[in-house]
Amino acid sequence: MTALDSGPARTADRRRWAGLAVLAASLLVVVMDMTILNVALPELTADLGAGALAQLWIVDAYALVLAGLLVPLAALADRWGRRRMLLLGFTIFGAASLAALVVDSATQVIILRALLGVGGAMIMPATLSLIRALFPDARERAFALGLWAAMAAVGGAVGPIVGGALLQAFSWHAAFLVNVPLMVAAVVAGRAFLPESRSERPGRVDATGVLLSVSGMVAAVYGVKHLGKSGIDAEGVLVLAFGILLVTAFVRRCLRQDEPMLAVRLFGDPVFRAGVLTALVSSTVMIALLFVGSQWLQLVEGWSPLLTGVALLPMAVGGLVGPPVAPAVAGRFGARNVIVAGLGILAAGLLLLGLLPHPLPYPGIAVALLLVGFGTAALGLASALIMGAAPVDQAGSAAAIEEMSYEVGGVLGIAVLGSLVGLVYRAGLPADAPDRAVESLSGALGTAVEPAALAAYADSFAAVGLAGALITLLVTLVVWRQLPADVDVSGGH
């Protein structure tokens, strides 16, 4: 009987891991798409004649739509079906990417990017919710989430390489079209290997809650982005304050409901809070490092987009190793110790960047990137704690909150640490620097102040490392105090 029974068990086990492969690969594609655009943007804007405002919206449309729709779509997936929502997200993402064949204006590209944001908002929380359903065993789930986190780190670093290779061989359209066959394969594999999953107690999807959450998140993200790019002004402050007001009203509404659209009471658990905080700070410093590092490699070192992508690979290597092995190490030394150690390694990589001699040597940068990649071991375990601390019927809310922490972290990384780059860069320029040199490093190239501008940007890159290290160390202390010493990867004790 044992031999007869083992066949279906082995088949079910293979289907679970095949399902994880589908979920991880789909996340890889979505994350790659975010960074591919950074490489394709110069050629795209030159071809379409996009002005500064259009360029801003081409970049921001995706993040604004994604951040705004995460909560209502995750709640709808709990009720309608997470697999169904995921497959629809694959379809929208692929169809929007295919539309790149016919777009011929900046406005159409902005619409395309917004549609990609809709698809991304369907895909990203559904992947986490389905992993929670596929792997009820806490140890297996922690390993699966470690692989999921590794794909996120790899996607961020590999995207520029793929984008650079595509741009060298084809036009900017290829940066979108590469998604189409991948999404077709994801739909086919998802239908074959992923089970349907719903919440037994889905949250209430009410019109007022949707309006508050979408408007609040969009306004808050836009406000932070505006302040980061334009400095402190009335528009940025008012929009951010309005967004915070709407999000606060949404949270208060959820607290009054028995089955809210977002289970904000999860934040009452210190384990859940520590996991979200870890995900937030990891995303903040990693996105900032990738953004500023790619600019330094291309503008200061003069490397091509493809070579720049290759130069960022050490972070992907570290990210591919750290998160998958973290659960096993946590089983031996404790989840709190491993999360704190991961954050410490992340801070060490950033600190090394800030202490390197000038001019910055690439070998030292590569070691710093490798350490930061290893430090994402904390990110994989944080995901396990977040999803493990949430009951099964609230997996959608936990997934939405985790994804929001990534999105908000990315926005804060570019806005806050990006603003620091601007301050340090401008402080290093001579008083008689032309306006276009003060505005950006690219505007300083070919002018009399170019040497000073290049040195100032290298100082800015180092400043990001020092500031990121300080922020990470402060969060490490908070996480150490929040997490119980006996917490395990299931989020329990």
Q: Write out pLDDT tens, residues 261-315.
A: 889 999 999 999 999 999 999 989 988 888 888 888 888 888 887 788 789 889 8
Q: How far apart are CA 482 and CA 487, in angstroms?
A: 10
Per-residue pLDDT at 183 exceeds 70: yes
Angle at 413 between CA 407 and CA 416, to 5 degrees: 125
49: left (phi over 0), alpha (psi -120 to 50) or beta: left
Q: How confident is the model at residue 490 (pLDDT cuts 50, 70, 90)?
A: low
| CA neighbor of 319 nearest in space, from 257, 368, 370 | 370
Q: How confident is the model at residue 12 (pLDDT cuts 50, 70, 90)?
A: low
What is the tens place of the pLDDT at every residue in 195-253? Answer: 888 877 777 788 898 899 889 988 888 888 788 777 788 888 999 999 999 999 999 99
Q: What is the mean pLDDT of the chain?
A: 85
417 near 464, Cβ under 8 Å?
A: yes
Q: How far apart are CA 198 and CA 146, in angstroms?
A: 23
pTM: 0.86
Torsion of CA 107, 112, 118, 122, to 10 degrees: -170
Q: Which two tokens stand for residue 237?
A: 């402050």
Architecture of domain 13-204+257-482: Up-down Bundle (1.20)
Q: How far apart are CA 456 and CA 285, in angstroms?
A: 20
Per-residue pLDDT at 1 exceeds 50: no
Q: Which two tokens stand for residue 188?
A: 């086919």
What is the tens place of the pLDDT at every residue in 310-355? Answer: 898 898 888 888 888 888 888 888 889 999 999 999 999 999 999 9
